[in-house]
Chain A
Amino acid sequence: MNITEIKSARAGDSYFKIKHSSGLVVYVYPKEGYRSAYAIIGTKFGSINNCFSLDDGEKISVPDGIAHYLEHKLFESEEGDAFTRYAETGASANAYTSFEKTCYLFSCTDRFEESMEILLDFVGDPYFTPQTVAKEQGIIGQEIKMYDDSPDWRVMFNLLENMYHHHPVKIDIAGTVETIAEITAEKLYQCYNTFYNLNNMALCVAGNVTVEQVLAICDKMLKPCEAHEIHNYFEEEPYEIVSPYVEQSFPVLMPMFNLGFKEKAEPLGDKKLAQTDILLSMLASPTSKLYRDLMDANLINNTFSYELFEGPGYCSVIFGGESRAPRQAAEMIKQYIAKAKAEGLSRDDFEIARKAVYGDVVSSLNSVSSIANTILSYHFSDNKLFDYIEAITGTSFEDVSERLSEMLDVTNCTLSVVKSPDAEV
């Protein structure tokens, strides 16, 4: 077993990466003086993995929403559900499914070993029957309907549908009431056996723990797992967006918008990620001229935000928030970006943004949950937390200017609006 210690003098922290003999990659980030521990295990199986094959086997297509459905069902075993088992240790447990991964987690302040055993046990022990699968239809059906009523959620998926021609990132993570009706115990097993292979998963534990503690439980609970080759099939996605504008009528009083710039989809290393984060802070954080002018023109309010939205085969930059005039807000954002590209960025803005981005990531190392979540996400995207921190301090003004020249194409963006039926936008 190979144990590597990864240190950051700047952050004053260190963590360990272990390739466990079972095939699982394990990260342990001890936090001195902390009482709590947070553990999260994830598999590289999210809503976008709806067409795949294993080794040389045939290509399999599965119903939309199956990764999320599987997440719900994995909590159950023949003896009862995992929540009941956690209730005996006092741990607080949860799970979530995103576009590219499914994760199971708990936090606790006592009896860490027992909770850790529960986690590894139920994630490694699927139990699906026609009856238990059928029961979940009602619960997830209501979860889907709750999201159907959420303007935040709708404005984003309408955007994705109008940016992406084929990529499954445009499909709602939970699927629809119709697609989940096609899910069977057999299909769940098929997905489980493909993606819940320890070689396709990672575990991260942060807080009041030691490497020895975590490895002892892994040794006890995990059996060596043969590695398989998983192929995920994504239809070729054109560079161009589908359509520049989409709107939906909704019972809302505050209209909302998302303006998405479709980017070339490529894995961003730590340096490019740092450059992008600094660039977006320069362009659109509350320190920027754009933010100020949007505010003064009453085009945004303090719900305005931006994000780099990326994963396997997709990448975009999304600006959004509430606005009573989303078209004008979008126009102003595009104009400012075009101007920055033509006239260049400001060095002052760069210095301020670099400090702000650095401060944000160092602050996030306070929290065991954000540490573990970030390391796990970075594992799946091939990034490294401390390299990212170093990359921020090492980024130059020229790097960021160069980055701007290759992204935020104002001719390749989509505006999505959600508004009440009678509102003029």
Chain B
Amino acid sequence: MSFIQRTPIADGVYFNSVRDSRFKTMKLSVHLFVPLSAETASENALIAGVLSRSCKAYPDFTALSRKLSALYGADLNVSSAKIGENQVISISASGLDDRYAIDGESIAKELSVLLCGVIFEPNLSGRAFVAGEVEQERRQLLDLIDSEYNEKRIYANARLIEIMCADEVFGIKRYGTAEAIRAATPESLYTAWEKLLKDAVAEIIYIGDSSPEKAVEVFTEAFQSIPRTPVTLRTEVIREAGEVKRVTEEIEVSQSKLVMGFRAGIALPETETRAAGLMCAILGGTATSKLFCNVREKQSLCYYCAARYDKDKGIIVIDSGVEGENIEKLEAGILKEIDDMKNGVISDFEIDSAKMAIINAYQGSNDTVGGIESWFARQLLQDGFRTIEEESALLSAVTREEIIAAANKLTLDTVYVLKNK
């Protein structure tokens, strides 16, 4: 697979470079990792949005958008995500590789300078961000919170995490709360921005054919010019659930949602996460999984019934959409499949096909820029990188006993039902 070169360029700042000539585009992303906290999550999410709207060189949204479009429709993207109990603010630029520029310009160099400017030289008014820009981003984020309720599958999953992890840092949303978003000011954001650049563990990833030289140069200079005090990142893992929490809410919908949250008892950096991931795929991760074949196909109860493993936090979530009168039947059906897993009712076919499906996805990820980025990005907080071949070999070696052992660590924590009135 593609080879990654990792170089420290400042205290707690790494430049990761993958040279690959197969793609027509390049991508440069900066990931800033900080501990998730109720006090800072909203301000950090707001900062990401404000930074991407304008900067000192292009001090207005339209000017910046026009610059990007003139660079052959280059993209500037920001996101705020949660990895375990850490918040990661990502700001990335992607565009055509220099070979495809009609007028012969170096898109990679221009985007490197632009991205660095967006992060380190924002559009400021003294020691504050520009008020109008902050207001726009505040509105975007408040709208985003409201829109989560629009899509009931997303909403039901979010409610499950809120209820299940109410007393944990993980219960905080990736953009904090509406109250904190409303309370932020242009001045408080300036302070939060300085702190973010000083404290975050920073990982820069470059993927492209052209040389990353310019990007290394500008980011080294920028990060070395500020006093750095990188934070320590951690995630609390609850191994076993207590008494099952049950919450049912009613609204006017056609289809009810059932979401079940489990403690997996296994989380990174433990090597058993591989067995747990495989167990989750056999249970509900593929079109030949137990949930798909038995609950959907045989019992004809639902259209989707899927299991997902969050190995950073050590939880498994199963969600499904169902007729209101069938909720109990569905829950019983799901629990029966889990009991089967625990009791070792797993065929060789189920194990082998889940392994093949996961390895196929690993290998396929090397054929896209985004796939390569996420392959390495999700290992950034681990101890060194593994290639697809190494990871595939480790997965292939997982035994039936290890899968059964992983299943036996599952404990049901919370059941959330969104019911049609």
Residue positions of A touching B, CB distance < 8 A: 10-12, 31-36, 81, 83-84, 86-93, 107-110, 135-140, 142-143, 145-146, 148-152, 207, 251-254, 256, 281, 285-287, 289, 291-292, 295-296, 298, 301-303, 322, 324, 351-353, 355-360, 362-363, 365-368, 393
Contacts and interface: CB of A to CB of B under 8 A. Distances in A.
Interface in B125-153: 136, 139-140, 143-144, 146-147, 149-153
Nearest to B296: A139
Interface of B: 21-25, 61-62, 65-66, 69-74, 95-96, 99-100, 102, 136, 139-140, 143-144, 146-147, 149-153, 251-255, 286-288, 292, 296-297, 300-304, 321-323, 349, 353, 356-357, 359-361, 363-364, 366-369
Contacts of A295: 61, 136
21 contacts: A11-B100, A88-B349, A88-B353, A88-B356, A108-B360, A108-B364, A109-B360, A109-B364, A135-B297, A145-B255, A146-B153, A251-B149, A285-B69, A292-B61, A324-B143, A355-B102, A356-B70, A356-B72, A359-B73, A363-B96, A366-B369
Given A253-B149, A355-B70, A322 B363 contact: no
B96 A362 contact: yes
B23 A393 contact: no
Contacts of B367: 31, 34-36, 207, 367-368
Given A87-B286, A93-B287, A352-B66, A251 B143 contact: no
A32 B301 CA distance: 44
A315 B369 CA distance: 34
A167 to B, nearest CB: 26
B321 A142 contact: yes
Contact of B287 (A83, A88, A109, A291): A83
A419 to B, nearest CB: 11
Interface-central residue, A92, A145, A149, by most chain B CB under 10 Å: A149
B139 A35 contact: no
Nearest to A38: B364
Contacts of B146: 253-254
Contacts of A10: 100
Given A139-B296, A324-B143, 18 more contacts: A11-B100, A35-B366, A90-B353, A92-B364, A135-B297, A138-B301, A142-B323, A145-B323, A151-B150, A151-B151, A253-B146, A253-B149, A253-B150, A286-B65, A303-B143, A352-B70, A356-B72, A366-B24
A292 B102 CA distance: 28
Nearest to B288: A87
A149 B255 CA distance: 7
Contacts of A135: 297, 300
Nearest to A33: B22
B24 A365 contact: yes
B118 to A, nearest CB: 15
A36 B62 contact: no
A139 B302 contact: yes
B255 A366 contact: no
A32 B147 contact: no
A149 B24 contact: no
B363 A35 contact: yes
Given A35-B366, A36-B367, A359-B73, A139 B303 contact: yes
Contacts of A140: 303
A151 B367 CA distance: 34
Contacts, number: 189
A162 B322 CA distance: 30
A292 B303 CA distance: 41
Nearest to A351: B70
Contact of A90 (B22, B297, B356): B356
A251 B288 contact: no
A143 B367 CA distance: 32
A374 B70 CA distance: 25
B328 to A, nearest CB: 16
Nearest 10 A-B pairs (CB), nearest first?
A: A359-B72, A90-B356, A359-B73, A138-B300, A356-B73, A87-B353, A253-B146, A109-B363, A145-B255, A356-B69
Contacts of A368: 367
Contacts of A302: 140
Contacts of B144: 301
Given A90-B353, A92-B360, A110-B360, A355 B72 contact: yes
Contact of A256 (B150, B153, B301, B363): B150
A358 B73 contact: yes
A366 B25 contact: yes
Given A107-B364, A363-B24, A367-B368, A90 B69 contact: no
A158 B122 CA distance: 43
Contact of A362 (B69, B100, B304): B100
A143 B303 contact: yes
Contacts of A363: 24-25, 73, 96
B149 A252 contact: yes
Given A83-B287, A143-B303, A254 B69 contact: no
Nearest to B292: A83
Contact of A87 (B321, B322, B356): B356
